[in-house]
Structure 1
C-alpha cells in the first residue's frame, strides 16, 4: 500500500514551533495549494492543507519559513482523533512531512523575478545542514571558466522561429 503526498504551496501564516515533554521539536503550518482549474466565476481556488514536521526538520522550517513562503512538502497523510474540552470527538487529517523544500530564499527579490534556486532540507535527526540558496562554489567556478555560463531561462522564450527537429531525433 502507498501513502505518499507531494505538495507545493505557500504558507498561510508563520509556522508554530513547539516541543513535546520529551524535548522533541514539532512544527505545524498550513499551506495553500492552488487547484489546477478555475471555478464557474473564472477564479482559481486553493486547498488549505495542514502540515506537521518533526525533530530537526521542524526547527529548520520554523527558522527559515514565514507566511507567504513558497514551500514543497513530501510526506504522508495521517488521520487522528481526540476528544476536545466539550467532550466531542474531533477528527484531524494532516500531512506528516518527511522533507520540506524551501523553494525561494526568505525575503528574496530574486524569487519575485522568477530566479528560484530552491533549497532542500532532508528530514531526520541527522540533518544539521543549513539551506543553500544559490550555486555552490564549484558551480560558480565552473561558470566563470565557461565562456557560455549555464542559463536558467528558456532558450526559446523570445525566439519566434520554428524549431527544426527531425522525427528521427524524437524519443517517441
Structure 2
C-alpha cells in the first residue's frame, strides 16, 4: 500500500515554530498551489493546502523560508475522526510533510 503526496507551491506566509505540551517542535504551513486549468472566465484559480511539519523539518523550514518561498513537499496523508456534540461524525485529513525541498535557493 502507498500513502504519499507531492505538492509544489509557494508559502502563503512565513511559518511559525510551535511546540506541543511534550516540547516537540512543529509548524503548520499553508501552500498556495495554482491549478493547471483556467476557470470559466479564463483565469487560474489557486488552492490553499495546509501541511504539518515536525521536528527538524519544521526548524529547517522556519530558518530558510519566507512568505512566497517556492518549496516542494513530499509526505503522507493522515486521517482522524471527530464526533460532534450532535453525534455527527467528521473526517479530517492532515498532510504530514516527510521531506521538504527549497526550490528558490541560489
TM-score of the superposition, structure 2-length normalised? 0.85
Q: What residue number does 1:9 align with?
A: 9
Contact 1:6 1:74 in 2 (8 A): yes
What value does the CA root-mean-square deviation take over the aligned residues? 1.9
Q: What residue number does 1:76 align with?
A: 76
Give unmatched runs, 5+ long, in structure 1.
106-132, 134-172
Cα distance in 2 between the residues matched to 1:95 and 1:78: 6
Q: What residue number does 1:168 align with?
A: none
Secondary structure at the counterpart of residue 93 of structure 2: strand
- Equivalent pairs counted in the alignment come to 104
Map 1:27-66 onto structure 2 (within 5 A).
27-66=27-66
More strand by share: 2
Contact 1:49 1:94 in 2 (8 A): no
If asked which structure has higher relative contact order (CA below 8 Å, sep 6+), I would say 2
Secondary structure at the counterpart of residue 16 of structure 1: coil
* Higher radius of gyration, 1 or 2: 1
Cα distance in 2 between the residues matched to 1:40 and 1:73: 30
Secondary structure at the counterpart of residue 56 of structure 1: helix
Give unmatched runs, 5+ long, in structure 2.
none
